[in-house]
Amino acid sequence: MQAKSKEKLADIVGQENFSDGIIDLVSYSSDASEHSIRPQAVVWPTNAEQVRDVVLLANELGFPLFPRGAGTGLSGMAVPRSDGVVMDLARMRRIIDICIEDRVAVVEPGVVYADLEKALAPHGYFYPPDPASGKVCTLGGNVATNAGGVKGAKYGTTKDYVLGLSLVLGDGREMRVGGRNIKSASGYDLAHLFVGSEGTLGVFTEIILKINPKPTATATALAIFDNLEDAGSAIIGVMSSGIVPSVLEILGRETLEAINQNTDLNLPEVDAMLLCETDGFTQAEADFQMARVVEQFQKNQARQVRQASGGEEVVELWKARKSAYAVLARLKPNFVLEDVTVPISQVVRMFKGVQDIAERNRVSIATFGHAGDGNLHPQVLWDATQPGETQRVEKAVDELFALAIKLGGTLTGEHGIGLSKAAYMGLEHGSVSMDMMRVLKRACDPNNILNPGKMALEG
């Protein structure tokens, strides 16, 4: 990139919001995935005009732009290219409006998930998707990746809360889609086209989110199972018992062992542990639902069921669950965390399939996930310095995706495609679907400026 182009970038955002220093380039070379490429420069726009002007300049000079939130993504969505410029939106972090009457929050893309939570709390409201990285990830990143979390079964994912967006398209045109209405049947639902678009179509400058009243009571229970089949029957039993738990998590043996190594929780090291939370606006409501859950646990040969209603232990348990992947990452030098998702009835078939794949390919895979919405997190752990191990891992991952699709599932429940899964898009999406995605990409970003190389859109 020529010095002159860099000068023009700095002119748009101001010198203090531009860098081509090595420390910044290295820090923006990767996200939480295994990919790493150093960009040419980084800009930190502070308003929508700057975003627009940078996109226009990129079109004029022909350099690619890589929008970025907190860089906590696990599939390389925010990883740049060596000829590109990273656009970090973290400095656009105003909460513009919280309107309880309209049931909406209006935010800039760089607002951290936890900061919105904190701002909503005094109103008795919350924004439910609850990604594990909620303390750091940004809402712009959440929308771009259609982020989910542990509460998917009851509360859905980001797409269920996006009402409207202001954005800059890849060609530099500004657009407002959707609005503050809880309902709208007006024209194509363009706002949702951008949810999960991974920064390939436009850059958000303002986001309108639906918010929910926050349940004031919860009940928590933990059940341990000596074999996976029983846990699987229990999951199906709970999810078809007439209530919907706010959380239903499954943790496999390797995950439990790793958590035990990192905490004082002393979890039982069994084949499967189910962790369940119900919520409501009275304790009786939460407890009533939990009684249904516990019934199903017991009916399906849980070796032990333990109930807790709040307190330190519950906090620690959730903290351990949310850090599971980073804790597992300690075990081997390399890891990849997948998020294949299958229909709920297939969760255990997938879980067992993962174990077979691990055994067959002689690789280590620890699994945990959101059983209540069919979203599993097989975490493949390996040491790339060991001869042949990387190849075995690649084969195992191929088989993992093939199995998920065979079971009627999807490549990714919440992490997105990015670089990591781009090669597998054809497994899930037919040629007409792929063609339609490419048509949409060209319509929004004719010069392929925004986040090129992701989602197999250039294939």
Partner 1 sequence: MSASAKLEIERSFRDQIGRCSRCGFCQAHCPVFGASLRPAVNARGKMLLLKEVLEGKLELSRELAESIFQCTTCASCSTNCPSGVQVPEIIKAARRDMAGLGTCHPAFVAMDQVLEQYPNIYAEEEPGDFDRPRNQRAEVVYFMGCVGQYREEEATEAALAVLDHLEVDYTLIDEVCCSGVLEDVGFGIKPVLAEKNLELILSTGARTLVTGCPYCFRTFNNKEVYAPIKQEGVKIVHLSQFLAGRDLGVRTDQVVTYHDPCDLGRHTGIYAEPRKTIRALAPNFVELPHHHADALCCGAGGGVRGAFAKNSLDMARRRLAEVEEVGAQVVLTECNSCAHNLSNAKLRAQKFRVLTTPQFILELLEQSQG
When asked if residue 88 is in the footprint of partner 1 (CB under 8 A), the reply is yes
Q: Are 376 and 347 in contact (CB under 8 A)?
A: yes
The position carrying tokens 């009940």 is 219
Buried b (16+ CB within 10 A) or exposed e, 14-36: eeebbbbeeebbeebbbbbbbbe
Distance CA 403, CA 397 (A): 10
Which is closer to partner 1, CB of 110 or CB of 374?
110
Burial class of residue 295, CB neighbours in 10 A (0-12, 13-18, 19+):
middle
Using alpha carbons, select from 106, 13, 110, 100 the residue that is nearest to residue 69: 110
* Strands 334-337 vs 304-308: parallel, antiparallel or unpaired: unpaired
Which is closer to partner 1, CB of 262 or CB of 345?
262
When asked if residue 325 is in the footprint of partner 1 (CB under 8 A), the reply is yes
Q: Binding residue for partner 1 (CB under 8 A) from 61, 95, 119, 136?
A: 136
Which is closer to partner 1, CB of 21 or CB of 446?
21
Which is closer to partner 1, CB of 212 or CB of 263?
263
Which range binds partner 1 by CB under 8 A, 15-23, 153-161, 200-208, 227-235?
15-23
Which is closer to partner 1, CB of 179 or CB of 333?
333
Distance CA 68, CA 451 (A): 10
Q: Are 179 and 224 in contact (CB under 8 A)?
A: no
Rounded alpha-carbon distances, angstroms, from residue 206 to 142, 158, 196, 198, 209: 13, 15, 16, 16, 10
With H, G, I as helix, E, B as strand and everything else as coil, classify residue 448: coil
Q: Binding residue for partner 1 (CB under 8 A) from 5, 13, 18, 24?
A: 24
Query: Rg of the chain over CA atoms, in angstroms?
Result: 22
Residue 304 CB partners (closer than 8 Å, separation 6+): 223, 224, 268
Distance CA 459, CA 457 (A): 6
Distance CA 59, CA 443 (A): 14
Q: Smallest distance, Å, CB 451 to partner 1?
A: 18
Using alpha carbons, select from 140, 96, 152, 98 the residue that is nearest to residue 120: 98
Burial class of residue 115, CB neighbours in 10 A (0-12, 13-18, 19+):
middle
When asked if residue 21 is in the footprint of partner 1 (CB under 8 A), the reply is yes
Which is closer to partner 1, CB of 224 or CB of 328?
328
Which is closer to partner 1, CB of 92 or CB of 208?
92
Q: Binding residue for partner 1 (CB under 8 A) from 8, 103, 135, 292?
A: 135
Which is closer to partner 1, CB of 68 or CB of 210?
68
Which range binds partner 1 by CB under 8 A, 83-91, 100-108, 204-212, 307-315?
83-91
When asked if residue 245 is in the footprint of partner 1 (CB under 8 A), the reply is no
When asked if residue 28 is in the footprint of partner 1 (CB under 8 A), the reply is yes
Using alpha carbons, select from 392, 378, 263, 238 the residue that is nearest to residue 323: 263
Which is closer to partner 1, CB of 56 or CB of 95?
95
Q: Which of residues 30-49 bind partner 1 (CB under 8 A)?
A: 30-33, 44
Using alpha carbons, select from 265, 312, 281, 271 the residue that is nearest to residue 216: 281
When asked if residue 326 is in the footprint of partner 1 (CB under 8 A), the reply is yes
Q: Which parts of 297-362 are beta strand (E)?
A: 304-308, 334-337
When asked if residue 71 is in the footprint of partner 1 (CB under 8 A), the reply is yes
Q: Binding residue for partner 1 (CB under 8 A) from 6, 8, 81, 91?
A: 91
Which range binds partner 1 by CB under 8 A, 120-128, 179-187, 328-336, 447-455?
328-336
Q: Binding residue for partner 1 (CB under 8 A) from 3, 23, 182, 432?
A: 23
With H, G, I as helix, E, B as strand and everything else as coil, classify residue 180: coil
Distance CA 357, CA 426 (A): 21
When asked if residue 323 is in the footprint of partner 1 (CB under 8 A), the reply is yes
When asked if residue 345 is in the footprint of partner 1 (CB under 8 A), the reply is no
Which range binds partner 1 by CB under 8 A, 59-67, 132-140, 228-236, 281-289?
132-140
Q: Binding residue for partner 1 (CB under 8 A) from 330, 360, 362, 442?
A: 330
Binding mask 102-131 for partner 1 (x = CB under 8 A): ----------x-x-----------------
Which range binds partner 1 by CB under 8 A, 22-30, 123-131, 163-171, 264-272?
22-30
Q: How many CA atoms lie within 13 A of 94 on its CB side?
A: 8
Q: Binding residue for partner 1 (CB under 8 A) from 22, 182, 185, 432?
A: 22
Q: Binding residue for partner 1 (CB under 8 A) from 29, 307, 410, 447?
A: 29
Q: Smallest distance, Å, CB 12 to partner 1?
A: 18
Distance CA 82, CA 95 (A): 33
Distance CA 396, CA 93 (A): 40
Which range binds partner 1 by CB under 8 A, 24-32, 148-156, 200-208, 343-351?
24-32
Give the binding site for partner 1 (CB under 8 A).
21-24, 26-33, 44, 70-72, 88, 90-91, 93, 112, 114, 133, 135-136, 262, 323, 325-327, 329-330, 333, 335
